């Protein structure tokens, strides 16, 4: 079946540090891949997405590349800020489903200290 695995958190970094949050997936065919972010007290919002192999999604300094060969979609940012403190979810939408169902990873909490 389809599944998503994220690195366990929490991840604590100092401001301006480099961030990597690992995400690997299991799926048949060619799913779409997403990173959603949840700021404290809020719902999830889309951070970036990639819909086919070797696509790079990017937004707000964050990047992730769809790697079919390693079934991965790792999230990176070169210099984190305190305002990036949030919970980050990796998710996939199966290719066979055109109806938007999402399968989420466990979520990774990021805390950035000044």
Q: What does the binding site for another protein look like in residue numbers (CB under 8 A)?
A: 4, 6, 31-32, 34, 36, 41-46, 49, 51, 89, 93-107
Structure tokens at 70: 């390693």
Residue closer to another protein by CB (options 43, 114) is: 43
* Cα 113 from Cα 106, distance rounded (Å): 23
DSSP β-ladder status, 11-14 and 108-113: parallel
Shortest Å distance, C-beta 101 to another protein: 6
Shortest Å distance, C-beta 47 to another protein: 10
Residue closer to another protein by CB (options 56, 79) is: 56
Structure tokens at 34: 């997403």
* Cα 87 from Cα 5, distance rounded (Å): 15
Residue closer to another protein by CB (options 8, 16) is: 8
């Amino acid at each position: 079946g389809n599944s998503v695995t994220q690195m366990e958190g929490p991840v604590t970094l100092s401001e301006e540090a480099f961030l990597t949050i690992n995400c690997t997936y299991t799926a048949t065919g060619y799913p779409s891949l997403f990173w959603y972010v949840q700021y404290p007290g809020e719902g999830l919002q889309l951070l970036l997405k990639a819909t086919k192999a070797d696509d790079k999604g990017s937004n707000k300094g964050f990047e992730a590349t769809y790697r079919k060969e390693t079934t991965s979609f790792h999230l990176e940012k070169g210099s984190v800020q305190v305002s990036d403190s949030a919970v980050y979810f990796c998710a996939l939408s199966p290719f066979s489903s055109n109806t938007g169902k999402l399968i989420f990873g466990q979520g990774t909490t990021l805390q950035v200290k000044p």
